[in-house]
Amino acid sequence: MAHVSAVERRPQLIKAAIDLMARKGVAAGSTRAIAAELGVAQATVHYTFGTKEDLYRAVMDRLTEDLIAQVEQAAPEDAGFEETIAALAGALWRSVSGESTSYHLLTELSLLALRTPGLSEARQAHYRGVIDVTARLVSEAAARAGRELSRSPETVARFFLAGFDGLTIQRLYAPDETAETLGLRGLVSATTALATGQLSLADVPMG
């Protein structure tokens, strides 16, 4: 059998890990099972990545890159501000509700990372990347539409993503297509209103 370098083997193992865990869940993603998925020795996984956490980190990086690319491609070049937010919401929602399970896998890995010190950095980098891209797209949409934002692009991005994450959790645990559609449309409208200073904010007792 021809020798395959670690550089070549790395993307193969990442794909094998994604395929396996997308089908069977993160709990099934042992290094032995991932090696079997690709048809290589378990030692190959450890030689290429070092630890299972290193492999999981690489999987999170790949899934995050794919998600960001999908969102960036969905941003229209000639639409107004609200239309741009709606396009972003639609692109993200298709990744949640479509046949692909990569978004669900990324959610699983993110939850696992909360209790896995070796994955903490990957979790933070994932969400930081999503926030940064969303904030940039919000800023570009406002500039294109000639709209002045009443809040910082990052604040608007965090507001939008917080609502979207909530809808995602509901989709996973208590799916209701009618409620989801209403929630998604409401989120776009509320994000637009917040960004343009048209949303009246209530006082909330925090103490």
pLDDT (tens digit per residue) in 26-44: 999 999 999 999 999 999 9
Set out the domains of the chain in order of their start, with CATH numbers. 1-50 (1.10.10), 54-195 (1.10.357.10)
Burial class (CB in 10 A: 0-12, 13-18, 19+), 120: middle
- Please answer whether residues 78 and 141 qualify as being in contact, where contact means their C-beta atoms are separated by less than 8 angstroms: no
Flag residues of the chain having pLDDT under 70.
1-3, 98-100
- Backbone Cα Rg of the chain: 20
pTM equals: 0.85
Q: Which two tokens stand for residue 118?
A: 């070796």
- Please answer whether residues 141 and 84 qualify as being in contact, where contact means their C-beta atoms are separated by less than 8 angstroms: yes
pLDDT (tens digit per residue) in 52-63: 999 999 999 999
